Amino acid sequence: MKLYEFQAKQVFASKGIPVPRGEVAATAQEARAAAERLGRCVVKAQVHIGGRGKAGGIKVANTPTEARDYAQAMLGKPLRGLTVKQVLVEEALDIDREYYLAATIDRTSKRVVLMASAMGGMDVEEVAANHPDAIIKHPIDPAYGPMDFEIRAVMTRAGFDAKASRAIGTIAKQVYHVMLDSDASLVEINPLVVTGAGTVVAADAKFEVDDNALFRQQALAAFREDSEEDPIEAEAHRRGATYVHLDGDIGIIGNGAGLVMTTLDLVTRAGGRPANFLDIGGGAQADSVREAIEIVLMDPNVKGILFNIFGGITRGDEVAKGILAGTESIKIKVPIVVRMAGTNAEEGRELLEGTNLVPAAGPIEAAEKIIELAKR
Ligand code: GDP
Ligand code: MN
């Protein structure tokens, strides 16, 4: 799960990482009022993508009226395809230097790796591509956490201004601890600004939390609803479903993440385009199957549904009952192909006989069938 910049900055502030004074606004009037309190400010579109500066989503406003006008121009409009629902109005900074500071998980070393560069700011992607040496990477030993000498070495290698190093070193440690405390997979500050007065502030924030840790990250989970862009995903998650919205037209429902991923591949290989990923999990009961159909059909692009069920814990007859219950209680106008194997698959298939659900012997046949039926 990605946090919005303003949410990430709330987390930063709560952990002692300095951030600019700022307020979130959902209307142009609110932005104006915020600017009256803040003085010269920047208006920042809140969307889950970087490069907002280059796309026109970051504007410096000299007066409250200007702030209102910039907010007006951003709110409700798309920025690189994502609708801007809120802006963050922040005190403008007197920027002397722009650095890059981040922590992420490195799967090879199985450690949190700290990253630092003196070439921060809007072109860091270009720096990463053309001057990879300018980004210093340092894995942290989880037994000790970041040691002062290591952090000093990283900052020296990165070429950070010596006068700002004490403040940045503290922030680097905080970033590491925020990472662990929040079960984050990425914490990125770009730019980390050194002001004309020599203070250091996190002017931007990117923050990604491991979805699987949200059960123990109540405070972060509360951000979830607000941070979701896709209304169908938001509704699916409210209902507790493991659902990812895709842009095709074949709805996919299966049990087990691996099986569902494979089904997406099979449909794609057969020339179709999956509309979603939906894993009903192990031991799925009739109710959750019906719910799954409802969720998949919230997407108006869906022209057919493919069920791929392997019975282990999940019993074929249970799933069949769920599919029947689902087809009874909601009007389904699209074809449904069902492939079932494993525990009680035979019983499941028998239950589906005489209905308008199309059985398939194997997963490949199932993929081909649903693509064919969806075309009609
Ligand atoms: P991004 O383009 O989505 O990464 O958004 P950032 O928050 O990083 O802002 C982009 C750029 O705006 C920064 O790299 C700064 O160079 C520039 N900028 C100019 N004035 C300010 C300011 O007062 N605050 C912030 N945050 N950025 C500013
Ligand atoms: Mn940035």
User: Is the CB–ligand 1 distance for residue 267 below 6 Å?
Assistant: no
The residues pairing with 87 across neighbouring beta strands, listed in sequence order, are 25, 45
Residue 214 tokens read as: 């949200």
Residue 129 confidence class, pLDDT cut points 50, 70, 90: confident
User: Is any atom of ligand 1 closer than 6 Å to the C-beta of 204?
Assistant: yes
- Whose tokens are 């990125």? That residue is 188
Quote the pLDDT of residue 241: 87
Mean pLDDT over 367-374 rounds to 97
Q: CB-side exposure of 301: number of CA atoms within 13 Å? A: 13
What spacing in Å lies between the alpha carbon of 195 and ligand 1's midpoint?
13
Domain span(s) for CATH 3.40.50.261 in the chain: 230-375
Tokens of 352: 């589906």
Q: CATH 3.30.470.20 occupies which residues in the chain? A: 95-221
Q: Which CATH number fits domain 230-375: 3.40.50.261, 1.10.3720.10, 3.40.50.800, 3.40.50.150?
A: 3.40.50.261
Residue among 19, 48, 58 whose CB has most ligand 1 atoms within 8 A, to mutate: 58
Predicted local distance difference test score (pLDDT) of residue 123? 82
Residue 19 tokens, joined: 């951030």
- The closest residue, in CA terms, to atom 17 on ligand 1 is 53
HSE-CB of 49 using CA atoms within 13 angstroms: 16
pLDDT, residue 89, reads 98
Superfamily of domain 95-221 in the CATH hierarchy: ATP-grasp fold, B domain (3.30.470.20)
Question: CA angle, corner 309, sides to 308 and 311, nearest 5?
Answer: 160
> What is the 8-class DSSP label of residue 146?
-
pLDDT one-digit tens code per residue, 63-99: 999 999 999 999 999 998 888 999 999 999 999 999 9
User: CA torsion angle for 45, 48, 50, 56 (degrees, to 10)?
Assistant: -30
DSSP assignment of 106-119? ETTTTEEEEEEESS
> Atom 8, ligand 1: which residue's CA is nearest?
204
Q: Token digits for 264?
A: 């997406």
Output the CA–CA distances (angstroms, integers) from residue 254 to 34, 317, 323, in the order listed.
48, 15, 12
Q: Which residues contact 354 (CB under 8 A, 6 or more apart)?
A: none
103 CA distance to ligand 2 middle (Å)? 15
Q: State the CATH architecture for 21-91.
A: 2-Layer Sandwich (3.30)
Among 7-11, 210-214, 244-248, 313-317, whose mean pLDDT is lowest? 313-317
Tell me, what amino acid is at 74?
M
**How far from chain centre, in Å, is Cα 107?**
19
Taking the C-alpha atoms of residue 190 and residue 57, their distance in angstroms, rounded to an integer, is: 15
DSSP 323-355: HHHHHHHS---S-EEEEEEETTHHHHHHHHTTS
The confidence score (pLDDT) of residue 227 equals: 61
pLDDT band at 229 (very low <50, low <70, confident <90, very high): low
